[in-house]
Amino acid sequence: MNDTQDQQQLQALRDFFFAQNAAQLSDAYAALDEAVSIDLPKVDDWEAVEFAFNRLFVGPKALIAPPFASVYLEPEPQVMGKSTLISRQIFEMLGVQSPWQGTLPDDHLSLELDACIRLSAVRQAGDSPEVEDLWSYFLQAHLDQWLPSWINRVRSAEQLPPAIHTVTDILAAWLADEMRDLKSTEPSIGL
């Protein structure tokens, strides 16, 4: 996958997990369909997908798979834990502020994917060891520490529409690819 496709895929994933209704879910899914090389399952009832999406990620009842890093990284599962500051600091290092600061925790999955999009753009713009270190840190010490647990929660949910399952699988594959790329570019120490 080239950098443009990777950016489009990340943007569609971000938009899907940030969707607020069936129409936004459908639009993000269509964008994702254009960005990936696999055929996504056809969706006949976006209202059913929205219902399952809300049950998993939004509420009003207890969330099956809260999309917040702090829930998975903190000793006590909670939103807005200390780990939330990592995401805020990543945005600050990029010279931006979350437009939802104060209304949505900075460690929401969509905001963290937005940080990845911004970091990717900065990485493509130049050859900076600091940016590469930040990218490596954010992936290894942050995203890879909580996303697999979140993905497992989503996958284990009952009555999961194929669209949500597929989008979650695409996110899991993206993370696995990025982690594999990081490991292949790390300097090896020979004896």
The reported pTM is 0.90
Class in CATH terms, 3-185: mainly alpha
| Strand-pair partners of 108 | 68
Mean pLDDT in consecutive groups of 10 residues from the start of the chain, 191 residues: 84 97 98 96 98 96 93 81 78 75 83 90 83 90 96 95 97 96 67 38
Q: Minimal CA–CA distance to 153: which of 87, 78, 67, 52? A: 67
Q: Which amino acid is at 98?
A: S
CA distance 106 to 112: 7
Q: Which amino acid is at 180?
A: R
Identify the sign of the CA torsion 5, 10, 121, 73.
negative
Token pair belonging to 19: 């969707």
Asked if residue 64 lies in contact with residue 153, where contact means CB atoms within 8 angstroms, the answer is yes
